[in-house]
Amino acid sequence: MQRKFLRNLLFLLFLNLLIKPFWILGIDRSVQNVIGTQDYGFYFAILNFSFLFNIILDFGITNFNNRNIAQNNQLLNKHLSSILILKLLLAIIYVIVTVSLGFIVRYSPEQIKLLVILGINQFLISFVLYLRSNLSGLHLFKIDSFLSVLDRTLMILICAILLWGNVTSEPFKLEWYVYSQTVAYIITAIVALMVVARKAKFTKLKWNYAFFLLILRQSFPYAILALLMTFYNRIDTVMLERMLPTGDGDVQSGIYASAYRLLDATNMIAFLFAGLLLPIFAKMIKHKDSVENMVKLSYTLLITIAITVAVGSVYYSRHLMEMLYPIHPGESLVVFELRMVQSQVIFSLLMSCFVAISTTYIFGSLLTANGNLKALNLIAGGGMLINIVLNLILIPHFKAMGSAAVSLFTQFITALAQIIYAQNQFKFKVNYRFISTLILFVILISIVGWISTVLPLKWTYEFVIYSIVSVLIAWTLQLLNIKDLLKILKKE
């Protein structure tokens, strides 16, 4: 299993690192710079609002299906024919509920129009993720890997033409950006459906009311978990936009979004780990295989990357923000400086979240595979309450910076709770040597980060030096043991 995990992880990382960074740092960043912080903040707040009610769209079916198909491959054909209909019914309910709540919170007609389109996009994303869960459940990781980058590849092509192809005399518009995503998601959904239908030998849809109720009942704990985690991960910008005065809320959401974008990019790595680990953990648990070595291997790899990225982001936050978000047309130097100061602090706080989020992806996947949904829901529920209460207190005084601090605190609290519960559930031995090594690693690369910033070099060279020395320190401390990894990869 370790060999399968490593080989597929490397392939998945290769494809995603080839495509998604260019989408996030090239296309998405360019769109914000073209349309401006306020307009992008307007979009980002509505986008996160559309995320809040994904429980209705998916109802936990994707995670339930991933675990279930991994343990019972023969159920694919039976489940697919009915779940497809169920997903369409849930999509209709989701759009109605989301738009109705948009009216309740007094969104303007322009915001409602955008919310409808984003709601359709959310359905398409959910639909593709469900189809992919069948492939990962069957351990067809290579096909799943190609589908994981297909939508972004199509978006890059469409948006690049609109941004730089001189195909229109009008300046790039926000709605073009949203419509480009819709087209890409539709094409990806069609391709994914064709692949899964072929694997399942699918012939026709089946309306089965009793089966719908059974699936909803079994997936309900997964749905609650998804809802709670979505709230404490996505509520920040919605609260910023709603709680602050008109205009200021959009600006603060836009500043928060600019810092959050790189966290989104790095979270991709942790998400890929989880996507592979959930079906692998599920199969190992069913066969009563020990998961301890797999947990240690995956966590060591991911947490080493996370710590290195987080520490480097703290030291080079100002440089990265200035490089990605230069002064906007018509923006005064005073406003630009204020935006950079806020972005720098917010970016440092949010990127530090990557350590906690990586931990959550590993141990959350393990506990999900083991069926510990009640515990996960209690932890996520606690995280949501902490997040909302602290945001209500801090946003009026500290705006986006207060929201970023709340996010950091919430992520670490929930990550620690998952580690403690998993340790008790699986009777893992507390590895004090490993913990000490991680602490020493943090101290050493923090020192290296500080030294690199005082070198008489261009900051990009300093950052490269920091990165290389951090990898060498990880190798010296045996957090990255290349020989052992090669042995696992070569093992038949």
Give the pLDDT confidence of 30-89 residue by residue, as tens digits: 887 777 767 777 787 788 788 777 778 877 777 777 777 777 666 666 677 778 888 888
Does the global pTM surpass 0.85?
no
In this predicted model, which residue has the larger pLDDT, 286 or 200? 286
Residue 265: count of CB within 10 angstroms of its CB: 18
What is the band of 437 on the pLDDT scale with cuts at 50, 70, 90? very high
AA letter at 411: Q
**Residue 440: count of CB within 10 angstroms of its CB:** 13
- CA 21 vs CA 125, 141, 220, 264, 306: distances in Å: 19, 21, 34, 10, 16
Let me know: does 448 contact 466? Beta carbons within 8 Å. Answer: yes
**More confident call, 334 vs 413:** 413
Q: Are 119 and 181 in contact (CB under 8 A)?
A: no
Q: Provide the strand spans (E) within 188-252.
A: none
User: Which residues have a Cβ under 8 Å from the Cβ of 491 and sit 6 or more positions away?
Assistant: 2, 3
In one-letter notation, the amino acid at residue 286 is: K
Radius of gyration for the alpha carbons in the chain, expressed in angstroms and rounded: 22
pLDDT of residue 492: 41
Question: Does 455 have pLDDT greater than 80?
Answer: yes
Residue 360 CA to residue 366 CA, distance in Å, equals 10
Sign, CA dihedral 283-286-288-291, equals: positive
Question: What amino acid is encoded at 383 in this protein?
Answer: G
For the chain, the distance separating the N- and C-terminal CA atoms, rounded to the nearest angstrom, is: 11
For residue 440 the two structure tokens come to 């020493």
* Lowest mean pLDDT, pick from 110-114, 229-233, 462-466, 488-492: 488-492
367 contacts 418 by C-beta, under 8 angstroms: yes
Q: Is 328 left (phi over 0), alpha (psi -120 to 50) or beta?
A: beta
Of 105-114, 117-126, 420-429, the poorest mean pLDDT is in 105-114
Find which of 131-140, 225-234, 245-254, 283-292 is predicted with most confidence, using mean pLDDT: 283-292
pLDDT > 70 fraction of the chain, expressed in percent and rounded: 92
Token readout for 223 is: 């749905």
pLDDT band at 485 (very low <50, low <70, confident <90, very high): low
Residues 33, 255: Cα–Cα separation, whole Å: 12
- DSSP state at residue 430: P
Structure-model confidence comparison of residues 206 and 283, the more confident one: 283
Is the model more confident about 446 or about 330?
446
Q: Which of 259, 250, 352, 282 is nearest to 42 (CA)?
A: 250
**If we measure between CA atoms, which residue out of 170, 161, 86, 79 comes closest to residue 127?**
86
Distance from C-alpha of 33 to C-alpha of 98, rounded to nearest angstrom: 29
Q: Which is higher by pLDDT, 204 or 180?
A: 180
In the structure, what pLDDT confidence band is assigned to residue 326 with cuts at 50, 70 and 90?
Answer: confident
State the pLDDT at residue 243.
86
